Amino acid sequence: MKSRRLFAIVLKELRQLRRDRMTLAMIVGIPVMQLLLFGYAINFNLRGLSTGIADMANTAGSRALVMDMVATGVIAPTASARTPQELMELIRLGRISIGVVVPPDFERRLIDGREAVQVLVDGSDSNVQAAAAQLAQVPLQSQAFGSARAPAVSVVGFYNPERRTAVNIVPGLIGVILTMTMVLFTAVAIVRERERGNLELLIATPVTRSELMFGKVLPYVAIGLVQTTVVLLLGVWLFEVPIRGGVLDVYLAAVLLILANLTLGLLISTRAKSQFQAMQMSFFLFLPSIFLSGFMFPFAGMPMIMQWLAEVLPLTHFLRLIRGVMLRGAGLFELWPELLALVAFIVVMMTVAILGFRKRLD
């Protein structure tokens, strides 16, 4: 591998990138958009669920209970009804997500220790259901004990079963964003030149396969680091995400994930017949990464076979690294099995990509 030729390819890629406004905008745009979308959508508590209330008891106690529920902010009364049947009809029509039924014998039931209030839930949205389940319990207990100091109602982390908060999402988002953008960058890299006819010219020159492949990967490492920086800065500013470990460790972990994704993309690019096909293949790999890596759902809850599958994904290992470093303050090298897994992934992908690429048209 000659540095002169390698550098020529890197320079060429950067020059082309500089003129590709759409891609340039995406480099910063995607991390910002994703962070804002995921950061807010995933982390903030479910609030203002449209609610119908049928208070058939209409006593001081029942009114106080309803007020307590509304005070949590989780529900917002938008309709009133006289019977549970009316509430069910409103839910069916999608007018409300939650119905609160206070039966006429509310006080009696309280004294008897029976269930005093029924919360009807639009079960078609599992997150709403989870929120309502908690909502239904807490205020009732405080009423039952007749305590003046009702414990604050808190309904947290519905959307993510482990009840992680923004702090836990943002480090993972670095990985998700890098997985999303990096694979795509190199996935189209070779196949685009094939489509445009550049490749026939390139492979008729003395340029080697390794020079071509490394030349395609290196410029995007820099771009991945730019994205990492954007997410980190926004994460720290907007979501007050701590970086408990070393910043250098964070970047080192990011570089490994970037390389893993770029080499994976390169492999896709040497196999795909068209840019469209390359994008489809990238997307096909992107979804399992999001769902199986432990970003969305807890890893431990998955069946064994899915866990094994997840071990193949670079994002899985990166998440363990980055959460360890950023949140638990672990040193990168203390997490060496994950490091090793990423390095192995990179080496295998790059080797297969280079060996799979032929300087031939047939």
Q: Shortest Cβ distance from residue 8 to another protein (Å)? A: 3
The whole-angstrom separation of Cα 109 and Cα 116 is 5
Helix axes 336-356, 209-239, angle to 10 degrees: 140
Q: Which of 1, 20, 92, 226 binds another protein (CB under 8 A)?
A: 20
- Region binding another protein by CB under 8 A among candidate stretches 26-34, 147-155, 243-251, 354-362: 354-362
Size of the site for another protein (CB under 8 A): 28
Where is 118: in which H helix or E strand? strand 118-121
361 binds another protein (CB under 8 A): yes
Write the binding mask 282 to 321 for another protein: x where contact by CB under 8 A, - elsewhere: ----------------------------------------
Cα(164)–Cα(197) distance, rounded to whole angstroms? Answer: 49
Q: Which helix (H) or strand (E) holds 109?
A: helix 106-112
Stretch that binds another protein, among 11-19, 70-78, 116-124, 219-227 (CB under 8 A): 11-19
CB of 322 to another protein, least distance (A): 35
Q: Any contact of residue 109 with another protein (CB under 8 A)? A: no
State the nearest-atom distance from the C-beta of 243 to another protein, in Å.
38
Binding residues among 171-210 for another protein as defined by CB under 8 A? 196-207
Minimum distance between the CB of residue 192 and another protein, rounded to whole angstroms? 11
Residue 218 lies near another protein (rule: CB under 8 A): no
d(CA 87, CA 100): 8
Q: Give the separation between CA 187 and CA 265, rounded to whole angstroms.
A: 4
Quote the tokens at residue 193. Answer: 């030149």
In 3D space, the residue among 318, 334, 343 whose CA is nearest the CA of residue 245 turns out to be 334
Beta bridge partners of 98: 51, 121
Tokens of 78: 């938008």
Q: Taking the complex as a whole, how short is the minimal distance between the CB of residue 1 and another protein, in angstroms?
A: 12
Q: Using the rule CB under 8 A, is 4 a contact of another protein? A: yes
- Applying CB under 8 A, which part among 9-17, 96-104, 135-143, 345-353 lies near another protein? 9-17
Which of 5, 79, 167, 280 lies at the binding interface for another protein (CB under 8 A)? Answer: 5
With a CB cutoff of 8 Å and minimum separation 6, the contacts of 254 are: 174, 178, 224, 225, 228, 318, 322
Position 21 contacts another protein (CB under 8 A): no
CB of 358 to another protein, least distance (A): 10
Contact call for residues 56 and 102 (beta carbons, < 8 A): yes
Which amino acid belongs to residue 244?
A: R
The two three-digit tokens of residue 66, written as one number: 């309803």
- Whose Cβ is closer to another protein: residue 9's or residue 262's? 9
Question: Using the rule CB under 8 A, is 343 a contact of another protein?
Answer: no
Q: Are 281 and 187 in contact (CB under 8 A)?
A: yes
Cα–Cα dist 329/314, whole Å: 21
**For residue 176, what is the enclosing H or E element?**
helix 166-187
Query: Can residue 8 be called a binding residue for another protein (CB under 8 A)?
Result: yes
Find the shortest distance in angstroms from Cβ 10 to another protein: 11
Residues near another protein (CB under 8 A): 2, 4-5, 7-9, 11-12, 15-16, 19-20, 196-207, 359-362
